[in-house]
Chains A and B, each alone.
Chain A
């Protein structure tokens, strides 16, 4: 034995770790934005008339959801340069997170769209609302409200998943931690502390999402 944990290394590395947190949040935000774009496009294609387009979307969703993110990011890391896309590791990580999150977003958004009944839209027109009003307050807002919990949950999942991007040395919290670890050999202290940094990030996100939900989506539905 004879090992005394020494958390002072963590204290000295604090600025680097906090920048790592910023990197993680940036990565997650960029990844989620891409995921939403893929999600909306995917939902449109998922219900398209062309059967081959539907098959591609279904295949994409099944492949992404049934393979590990680590293998996906390795694959993209080597595949993107082959198709002429030369990006730094962080940009590659954003694309990998976006593709992965996009597959889940397709399923979530699709559920939201299906939750709006046609009769509701017709009722809106019958009440004399014009097109923009119907879309805003009868389609978009209730659909967003319906998918809000799953979508924000997905965002937090994506933030936690982004730690795997350290495998291609993208700039985020875990790779910062790995660098500090290899400088100081204080593996346990560094990773223990960083785990709680992630916990703080997810709690902050959860609290933020709850406030937004309370502000925009707390109205009676019946």
Chain B
């Protein structure tokens, strides 16, 4: 007797959705913190440091997210760390986010007119005050659309945790689909849940981008 797709199955998917959201939030907050460091190192003016960070970013941009997850997942286990699946994939996504957000913010920091930095230097502001009070507030505005775009990528990317075996929305969908033999209905619902999560963000992102483009014309 196979169960049909009903309320209990829907509830199971919703619990998967919760894990997707939690995983995204943890990776995004962690990725923002680490990404800021990456962006600052990438623009610090020291050639060796900048090159190392550049290679770091290049590796993450040039390899599949799935393989990055595999390497982190099995690599951490190799180091003798006994971590839960959640912590392991969260670390994987955080490292990936640090590279992508770092590159986005690198571009934003460099897009702030050079005169701003020079004026701040002329006023005698040192590095931390210059960054905190002059450059970063302007860079955040420039980086906002791309950052939102990456957040959408991240939500979709967390589905790959399913392949490593962590039960989030996509994995929950696979399980329910195997139980009910109604793959189209189940993956349709799962897709709709992702869409409800991502689409408002995409819409917001393109609005912010349009507003920024308008401000740039003035």
Contact = CB atoms under 8 A, between A and B. Distances in A.
Give the secondary structure class of B's interface: helix
A202 to B, nearest CB: 4
Give the secondary structure class of A's interface: helix
Contacts, number: 111
B157 A198 contact: no
Interface of B: 59, 61-68, 70-71, 74-75, 77-78, 80, 152, 156-157, 159-160, 162-163, 170, 173-174, 177, 183-184, 187-188, 190-191, 194-195, 198-199, 202
Nearest to B61: A202
A166 B191 CA distance: 20
B184 A79 contact: yes
Nearest to A187: B74
A198 B62 CA distance: 7
Given A78-B184, A195-B64, 4 more contacts: A63-B191, A66-B194, A70-B160, A195-B70
B78 A66 contact: no
Contact-residue size bin, chain A (C-beta under 8 Å from the other chain): 35 or more
A5 to B, nearest CB: 7
22 contacts: A3-B80, A5-B78, A63-B191, A63-B195, A66-B152, A67-B191, A68-B156, A69-B159, A71-B170, A72-B191, A74-B170, A74-B177, A75-B188, A160-B64, A164-B64, A188-B74, A188-B75, A188-B78, A192-B75, A195-B70, A199-B59, A202-B61
B184 A198 contact: no
Contacts of A63: 191, 195
A196 to B, nearest CB: 8
B194 A1 contact: no
A210 interface: no
B156 A67 contact: yes
Interface of A: 1, 3, 5, 62-63, 65-72, 74-75, 77-79, 82, 156, 160-161, 163-164, 166-167, 174, 187-188, 191-192, 194-196, 198-199, 202-203
Contacts of B71: 188, 191-192, 195
A191 B67 contact: yes
By CB atoms of chain B within 10 A, which of A62, A67, A196, A198 has the most? A67
